[in-house]
Amino acid sequence: MGEKVSRRDYLKVLGGTVGGLVVGAAIGYLAAPGKVVEKTVERTVTQTVTAVPTVTPTTPAKKVHLDFTVWNYDVEKIKDNVSKFMQKYPHIEVSLYDFNWPDFPTTMVKRFTVGTPTDVTYNGEDWLAQWASAGWVVPLEDLWDQYEVEHPWSFYINDMVPYAKMACTFEGKVYGLPYYSDIFTFIYNERMLKEKGFNPPKDWDEVREQCLEFKKAGIKYPYLLSFEPKDVFAWCNVLSSAYGRGARLFDEDLNPVFDEPDSPFVEQLQWYVDGIHVDKIVDPEWSTMHETIASKKMSAGEAVFCGLCKYNTAAMNTPGSGPEAGNLRVGLMPGKTHEAYGFAKMYNITKMCVNRGREAIQAAITFIEYFGGSRGPVLKRWAVENGLGFGFDSPWEDSDIRNAMEKLYGPGSAEVIRQQAKLAICEPHPVWFGEWNDYVRKECLAKVFTKEITPKECVKLMAEKWNALRKG
Amino acid sequence: MPIKIRALKPQEKTALLMVLPAFFYIFVFTVYSYSQAFYLAFVKYKLVEPQTIGKFIGLTNFIDVIEATYFKDTIYETFIFTLMCTIVIVTLGIGVSILLNEKFKGVGFVRFIILIPWAIPPTAAGLVWRLMLYRSGWINRFGMMLGIIKEPIGFLGAGRIYQLVYALIAQMWQQLPFVSILLMAAHQLIPKDLLDAARVDGASWIKRLRHVTFPYIRNVIALVAIWEAIVAFTSYDILYTFSGGVWGIITYYAFAEGFSWMNLGHAAALSVIIAIFILIMISIILLIIPPKRIYEYSFVE
């Protein structure tokens, strides 16, 4: 070991190694056999799986290619679904591109702006207006019945629950079929309530009374408010609880009504402010309470109530997640109307796809029917395996889906969820909604909860911003 | 007068060749990007409205951002933050530099260790301080362990102005080392015999500081103060991570307009407004210390 290596020798060895690696890599690349089509874009794992060559009489000689963009929720399952689709329809070849969920809307806007090929895409009710008014996506209802499909458009549209239909609609036209629909629900600990002899609370006064009782019994903060101002779900939680009181944001002409003097929206904001600062029943960590933290706290029995998107209840009830796993239930949203906020993420066809002509549109419609149709295998798989919500009513008649929901959400949950889904609402999201919502979360609601402004001042600011954005 | 390349001496041609990369760099990253921002500030450029992109709209973008609901508050908060940062960081920097200039055992190690926060990226610094200020964070836990507080304090659930003060702590933690080292270097330029003479004449520590040290370092203090004001005014990353991406000063809104609301016209207008403020600050530097004096000062023996 004592032998010294000169700098020249060292560089010779290093140069030789690097050179060897480069030559080796080049030879390896050139000698590699033909591969399955594979595309990688940005941070995206993309694949096209070779189709199993089954012969069908309608298969055209040339494959139709589709570019499909999604966000990165359970990408492996999406890939598997794509693979199965291509086995069933060997004349359609699909390339999948997945993007990070928080960056998805901006990534897609850039993609559309520069014209990166995209045929079918996930979309959300909060971006639909922007994408539709920009002409990037087209109404599915205008195309559907002109093409070969398993079920006509009316079959799906009549089966869609109202909130999901509303979420997929822009300027009176339905743009897509839901990939996933869910509701922001009221969640409670059934065991704790039974121990105290309480029924699930019917209104927010009752929630307060029960919270005060639990506080006396030693639970420091019985209610969890998940309001990380950066997260759009924070807004959904607050809105959903106000909907329970019968609140509305706008009238039919999109004029704000949340700022009216006796607005249920203001009442609900006041409930939270009092809960945080007066009764001290709401966890003061609301600003850092991501839904995963709230779920853990609920499973651990640190709180009794919370408002979160429904799917979190399944996570809370997963065995091993905490001592209260299996005891958490979805209840109807407290309040006069028990309404809640429902949303839908959907499959859209892009204008780029339409510009490619009939073959591409037919392939995209076949794809969407397979993935988003209420009788399609993908909807059922998401519901049974992941407990994801769906935007149709008929899947509730499927015993596999019902059983899976009962298992994931607890005995008796299927009926409550179905009932809540029927009561859920989704108000229109105009083009400027995203900007308004961003402002509302960060500059209005966050300041109400810190008591920098009052709920009435808050809704005044919200209305001012709304009207300013409307004027353009 | 245009330069005639052929008439240049060989050394001059070499010199010209040497500055070409720098010229190219400045052209691409400064001249071109600034011109592009300036252009965008006068046209409609909302990505989600592709039909109207590129339409000349005069000063509309400027009027829009000035009339925006956030503008008044954010300008106020930006100036408050800038002022607080400059005063606190420079004052503490002077104190630390005096301390570092003293001779004591381990001074070399202290000078080294004090630089560490400066080497930490602002993004990480903001995040670290945010995590420390959580109710379950280190500061609350330590406070409760020592019995200083009974209940965890909700630092991050406090009002915006309080959070701005907490953010100042993160900014100070990150910037103080650089300021201290700069001022310490300025201290070392003070002729030792002058300080010795003052000491022999019976001048107290305070008098030496006031009549000998301060006149020597005041230009550097002014320079550092303006520098810190610019750093605070354009601060984005440290505040973004500290606030969990929820609020910031004017730079945050330039980002939000461009990348959250996808209105590049508004973002460019805000950037031009920020650039105007920065130009004013730079002009103040040049008024206090003219370039000639800075040049001379650099060669003080």
Mean pLDDT value of segment B42-46:
94
* A211 has a pLDDT exceeding 70: yes
Burial grade of A73 (CB within 10 A; 0-12, 13-18, 19 or more): middle
For residues A138 and A351, is the Cβ–Cβ distance under 8 A? yes
Most B CBs within 10 A among A228, A443, A461, hence the mutation to make, goes to A443
Instruction: Give dist(CA A144, CA B266) in Å, integer.
Output: 39
pLDDT score of A51: 38
- Calculate what percentage of chain B has a pLDDT beyond 90: 52
Q: How many residues make up chain B in this entry?
A: 301
Are B135 and A284 within 8 A, CB to CB?
A: yes
- Domain for residue A19, yes or no? no
Interface of B with A in 153-182 (CB under 8 A): 154, 156-160
pLDDT score of B102: 82
Are B47 and A228 within 8 A, CB to CB?
A: no
pLDDT score of A16: 52
CA distances, B180 to each of B142, B174, B220 (Å):
28, 11, 11
Instruction: Give dist(CA A455, CA A461) in Å, integer.
Output: 10
Instruction: Give dist(CA B173, CA A140) in Å, integer.
Output: 55
Q: pLDDT tens, A288-335?
A: 899 999 999 999 999 999 999 999 999 999 999 999 999 999 999 999
**Statement to judge: residues A190 and A319 lie in one domain:** yes
Domain boundary among A403, A434, A449: A403
Domain boundary among A388, A403, A418: A403
pLDDT score of B215: 85
- Domain for residue A83, yes or no? yes
In this structure, of A178-192, A444-458, B1-15, the range with the lowest mean pLDDT score is B1-15
- Calculate what percentage of chain A has a pLDDT beyond 90: 79
Burial grade of B246 (CB within 10 A; 0-12, 13-18, 19 or more): buried
**Is the Cβ of B134 closer than 8 Å to some Cβ of chain A?**
yes
Mean pLDDT value of segment A222-242:
94
CA distances, A194 to each of A116, A184, A188, A308, B227 (Å):
56, 24, 11, 22, 64
Burial grade of B79 (CB within 10 A; 0-12, 13-18, 19 or more): middle
Across the interface, of B48, B158, B244, the residue whose CB is closest to A109 is B48
Tell me the pairing of strands A328-331 and A176-189: antiparallel
Domain boundary among A403, A424, A439: A403
Across the interface, of B51, B160, B244, the residue whose CB is closest to A452 is B160
pLDDT score of A2: 40
Are B69 and A451 within 8 A, CB to CB?
A: no
What type of residue is A22? Answer: V
- Domain for residue A362, yes or no? yes
Instruction: Give dist(CA A259, CA A454) in Å, integer.
Output: 12
Dihedral sign for Cα atoms in the order A272, A240, A235, A311? positive
Mean pLDDT value of segment A209-237:
94
**Statement to judge: residues A122 and A268 lie in one domain:** no
**Statement to judge: residues A399 and A410 lie in one domain:** no
* A174 has a pLDDT exceeding 80: yes
CA-based angle A128:A129:A135, to the nearest 5? 90
Identify which has the larger pLDDT, A60 or B216: B216
**Statement to judge: residues A281 and A145 lie in one domain:** no
- Counting the structural domains of chain A, the total is 2
Across the interface, of A130, A287, A434, the residue whose CB is closest to B157 is A287
Instruction: Give dist(CA B145, CA B148) in Å, integer.
Output: 8
Q: pLDDT tens, B139-194?
A: 999 999 999 998 888 888 888 889 999 999 999 999 999 999 999 988 888 888 88
pLDDT score of B105: 85
Residue with tokens 């560089």: A11
A261 falls in which pLDDT band (50, 70, 90)?
A: confident
**Is the Cβ of A109 closer than 8 Å to some Cβ of chain B?**
yes
Which secondary structure element, helix H or strand E, spans residue A188, and what is its range? strand A176-189
Q: What ipTM was reported for this prediction? A: 0.73
- Domain for residue A17, yes or no? no
- Domain for residue A232, yes or no? yes
pLDDT score of B5: 74
Most A CBs within 10 A among B135, B240, B246, B252, hence the mutation to make, goes to B246
For position A87, which CATH number holds? 3.40.190.10
Q: pLDDT tens, A63-96?
A: 999 999 999 999 999 999 999 999 999 999 999 9
**Statement to judge: residues A313 and A432 lie in one domain:** yes
**Statement to judge: residues A137 and A246 lie in one domain:** no
- Calculate what percentage of chain B has a pLDDT beyond 70: 95
- Domain for residue A29, yes or no? no
Mean pLDDT value of segment A13-24:
48
Identify which has the larger pLDDT, B214 or B93: B93
Residues of A in contact with B247 (CB under 8 A): 442-443
- For residue A245 the two structure tokens come to 């009181």
**Statement to judge: residues A311 and A440 lie in one domain:** yes
For residues B62 and A457, is the Cβ–Cβ distance under 8 A? no
What domains does chain B contain, in order, with CATH numbers?
A: 70-298 (1.10.3720.10)
Q: pLDDT tens, A403-432?
A: 999 999 999 899 999 999 999 999 999 988
Q: If you measure CA to CA, which chain A residue comes closest to B161?
A: A452
Q: If you measure CA to CA, which chain A residue comes closest to B246?
A: A230
- Residue A378 C-alpha, separation from nearest chain B C-alpha, in angstroms: 31
**Statement to judge: residues A315 and A432 lie in one domain:** yes
**In the structure, how many helices (H) and strands (E) does chain A have?**
20, 12
Burial grade of B21 (CB within 10 A; 0-12, 13-18, 19 or more): exposed
Identify which has the larger pLDDT, A178 or B213: A178
CA-based nearest residue to B252, from B71, B116, B114, B130: B71
Q: pLDDT tens, A116-137?
A: 999 999 999 989 999 999 999 9
pLDDT score of A235: 94
Could you list the residue range(s) of the whole structural domain that residue A356 is in? 64-180+344-403
Instruction: Give dist(CA B248, CA A434) in Å, integer.
Output: 19
Q: If you measure CA to CA, which chain A residue comes closest to B45?
A: A113
- Domain for residue A306, yes or no? yes
DSSP collapsed to 3 states, chain B: CCCCHHHCCHHHHHHHHHHHHHHHHHHHHHHHHHHHHHHHCCEECECCCHHHCCEECCCHHHHHHHHCCCHHHHHHHHHHHHHHHHHHHHHHHHHHHHHHHCCCCCHHHHHHHCCHHHHCCHHHHHHHHHHHCCCCCHHHHHHHHCCCCCCCCCHHHCCHHHHHHHHHHHHHHHHHHHHHHHHHHHHCCCCHHHHHHHHHCCCCHHHHHHHHHHHHHHHHHHHHHHHHHHHHHCCCHHHHHHCCCCCCCHHHHHHHHHHHCCEHHHHHHHHHHHHHHHHHHHHHHHHHCCHHHHHHHHCCC
**Statement to judge: residues A353 and A221 lie in one domain:** no
Q: Which residues contact B1 (CB under 8 A, 6 or more apart)?
A: none
CA-based angle A333:A335:A337, to the nearest 5? 85
Please state, as a whole number, how many other Cβ atoms lie within 10 Å of the Cβ of residue A272: 22
Mean pLDDT value of segment B21-48:
92
Identify which has the larger pLDDT, A169 or B111: A169
Instruction: Give dist(CA A226, CA A234) in Å, integer.
Output: 6
A379 falls in which pLDDT band (50, 70, 90)?
A: very high
Identify which has the larger pLDDT, B112 or B250: B250
* A262 has a pLDDT exceeding 60: yes
- Calculate what percentage of chain A has a pLDDT beyond 70: 87
Both ends of chain A: CA-CA distance in Å?
A: 75
**Is the Cβ of A302 closer than 8 Å to some Cβ of chain B?**
no
**Is the Cβ of A131 closer than 8 Å to some Cβ of chain B?**
yes
CA distances, A335 to each of A200, A204, A276, B25 (Å):
12, 6, 19, 63
pLDDT score of B294: 62
- Residue A154 C-alpha, separation from nearest chain B C-alpha, in angstroms: 31
Roughly what angle, to the nearest 10 degrees, separates helices A413-423 and A399-409?
A: 100
Interface of A with B in 200-229 (CB under 8 A): 228-229
* A30 has a pLDDT exceeding 80: no
> What's the distance, CA A466 to chain centroid?
24
Mean pLDDT of chain A: 88
- Domain for residue A5, yes or no? no
**Statement to judge: residues A209 and A320 lie in one domain:** yes
pLDDT score of B47: 87
pLDDT score of A396: 93
Q: pLDDT tens, B45-102?
A: 998 888 889 999 999 999 999 998 889 989 999 999 999 999 999 999 999 998 888 8
Identify which has the larger pLDDT, A139 or A40: A139
**Statement to judge: residues A71 and A217 lie in one domain:** no
**Statement to judge: residues A324 and A292 lie in one domain:** yes
Most A CBs within 10 A among B69, B240, B243, B255, hence the mutation to make, goes to B69
Q: pLDDT tens, B105-130?
A: 888 888 888 888 988 999 999 999 99
A27 falls in which pLDDT band (50, 70, 90)?
A: very low
Instruction: Give dist(CA B59, CA B265) in Å, integer.
Output: 10
